[in-house]
Amino acid sequence: MITTRFTRRSSSIASSLAVAGLTLSFVQPMQAEDKPAQPPAAAAAAAAPAAPPAPKWYDELAVNGFLSTTYGYNVNRPDTGLNQFRTFDLYDNTFMVDVFTLTLQKAVSKPDEIGFRVDLSAGGTLPKVESSYGLLQGQDFDVKQAFVSYIAPIGSGLRFDAGKFLTHFGYEYIESWDTPNDNVTHSFSFGYAIPFTHTGLKASYSFSDQVAGMLMVANGWDDVRDNNTSKSIGAQLTWTPTKTATIAFNLISGPERPDVNSDPRTVYEVTGQLKLSDLTVVGLDAVYGSEKGAVLPGVNAKWSGITGYARLGLTDKFAFCLRAEYFADPDGARTQVPQYLRELTITPEYKLSSHLTLRADLRIDWSNVESFDKNGGQWSKTQPTGILNAIYLF
Strands 318-329 and 300-313: antiparallel
> Over the chain, what is the mean pLDDT?
89
pLDDT band at 192 (very low <50, low <70, confident <90, very high): very high
Host H or E run for residue 144: strand 141-152
Closest CA to 104 of 64, 55, 144, 148: 64
Spans of all domains in the chain: 57-393
CA–CA gap between residue 248 and residue 211 (Å, rounded): 10
The pTM score is 0.84
- pLDDT score of 1 more than 80: no
CA–CA gap between residue 292 and residue 281 (Å, rounded): 37
CA–CA gap between residue 112 and residue 153 (Å, rounded): 6
Residue type at 298? G
Closest CA to 362 of 339, 379, 344, 337: 344
Q: How many CB atoms lie within 10 A of CB 121?
A: 24
Residue type at 192? Y
Q: Give me the mean pLDDT over the 93-115 stretch.
A: 95
CA–CA gap between residue 391 and residue 374 (Å, rounded): 30
Q: Give me the mean pLDDT over the 280-303 stretch.
A: 96
- pLDDT score of 6 more than 50: no
Could you tell me the end-to-end alpha-carbon distance of the chain, in angstroms, rounded to an integer?
95
**According to the model, what pLDDT value does residue 10 have?**
39
**According to the model, what pLDDT value does residue 18 have?**
35
271-306: string of b/e by CB count within 10 Å (b at 16+)? Answer: bbbebeeeeebebebbbbbbbbbbeeeeeebbbbbb
**According to the model, what pLDDT value does residue 206 have?**
97
Q: Which CATH class is domain 57-393?
A: mainly beta
**pLDDT digits over 77-102, tens only?**
999 999 999 999 999 999 999 999 99
